[in-house]
């Protein structure tokens, strides 16, 4: 089976996404102007890269640096299914400006065996394909790319970006409580707290054990549960709580409570 889809998320400029499954298809020699990072969901991909023939197996991360010539072909008879990000270099630099880091858009490993990173990239890619809150996509993007570059790249960070004062964390928390029905962004929380988004995510997680996007989603789901218990329909509950559609609502409700909203209401 050969199928592929390429798209851009309108809410996140500077990132192109590919989801594909190939059985016999082979890429010719080519390069990308962007930094290409992806995850192998099934099978294995073979690549010619840096003068070597490499096999990237299932549940591993692949990273291709900008302007590096490479190919792609089935690494096993069944082929491979994977998801790729193509990060514009100017976008990456803007993203890390607030971190006060010196960013070289280079990853030092082509094949990365890191299950947490694999799952983080997979979750981010799925969030940028399905209906997801802006805060979710922005937070996952920052946390995942920070891990890529600090653990497998050449990021140097002279400042303590984890520092944030307690008042800012609680101000952000109160804002989420007061505006839980909205599609809140990290820009809003940055302006509110006068902290960088990196400081905010790390400080919030340290104080409450959740990132801001996880916290907001938990509030929405709890409110939805109360509304359903009072007899509100699933459709009206989803709209009231600010979910994009019924599928978005059902997916997140079931993750939290193990049943769909319709089954809970019954």
Question: Where do we find the tokens 């096999």?
Answer: 55
Please give the structure tokens belonging to residue 186. Answer: 């990290």
Contact call for residues 107 and 35 (beta carbons, < 8 A): yes
Specify whether the CB–CB gap between 204 and 169 falls below 8 A. Answer: yes
CA dist list (Å): 68 to 30, 33, 36: 8, 9, 10
Spatial distance between the Cα atoms of 21 and 59, rounded to a whole number of angstroms: 15
pLDDT digits (tens, 9 = 90+) for 7-49: 999 888 899 999 999 999 999 999 999 999 999 999 999 999 9
52: which strand partners?
49
Largest CA distance in the chain: 64
CA–CA gap between residue 103 and residue 93 (Å, rounded): 7
Long-range contacts of 111-117 (CB under 8 A, 24+ apart): 111/54, 111/56, 111/60, 111/61, 111/62, 112/60, 112/61, 112/62, 112/63, 112/152, 113/60, 113/61, 114/61, 114/151, 115/59, 116/147, 117/61, 117/144, 117/147, 117/148, 117/151
Q: Which pLDDT score is estimated for 98?
A: 60
Confidence at residue 202, expressed as pLDDT on a 0 to 100 scale: 86
Per-residue pLDDT, 99? 60
Q: What residues in the chain have per-residue pLDDT under 70?
A: 98-103, 155-164, 265-266
User: Which domains does the chain show, CATH number per domain?
Assistant: 3-152 (2.60.120.810), 160-266 (1.10.10.60)
The structure tokens listed for 14 are 């500077």
Q: What is the pLDDT of residue 179?
A: 95
pTM for this structure?
0.85
Backbone phi, then psi, for 119, in 5-degree steps? Answer: -65, -35
Which pLDDT tens digit goes with each residue over 130-160? 988 999 999 999 899 988 988 998 766 544 4
């Amino acid at each position: 089976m050969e199928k592929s889809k390429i798209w851009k998320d309108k809410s996140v400029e500077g990132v192109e996404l590919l989801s594909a499954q190939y059985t016999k298809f082979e890429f010719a020699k080519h390069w990308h102007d962007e930094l290409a990072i992806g995850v192998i969901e099934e099978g294995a991909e073979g690549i010619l890269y840096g003068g070597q023939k490499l096999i990237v197996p299932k549940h591993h991360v692949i990273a291709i640096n900008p302007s590096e010539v490479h190919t792609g072909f089935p690494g096993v008879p069944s082929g491979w299914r994977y998801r790729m990000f193509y990060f514009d270099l100017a976008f990456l630099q803007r993203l890390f400006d607030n971190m006060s880091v010196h960013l070289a858009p280079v990853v030092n490993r082509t094949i990365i065996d890191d299950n947490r990173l694999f799952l983080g990239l997979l979750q981010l890619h799925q969030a940028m394909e399905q209906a997801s809150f802006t805060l979710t996509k922005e937070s996952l993007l920052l946390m995942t790319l920070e891990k890529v570059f600090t653990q497998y790249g050449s990021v140097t960070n002279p400042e303590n970006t984890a520092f944030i004062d307690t008042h800012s964390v609680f101000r952000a928390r109160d804002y989420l409580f007061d505006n839980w029905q909205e599609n809140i962004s990290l820009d809003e929380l940055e302006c509110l707290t006068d902290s960088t988004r990196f400081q905010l995510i790390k400080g919030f997680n340290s104080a409450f054990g959740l990132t801001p996007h996880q916290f907001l989603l938990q509030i929405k789901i709890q409110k939805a549960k109360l509304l359903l218990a009072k007899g509100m329909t699933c459709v009206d509950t989803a709209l009231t709580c600010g979910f994009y559609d019924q599928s978005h609502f059902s997916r997140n409700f079931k993750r939290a409570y193990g049943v769909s909203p319709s089954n809970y209401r019954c």
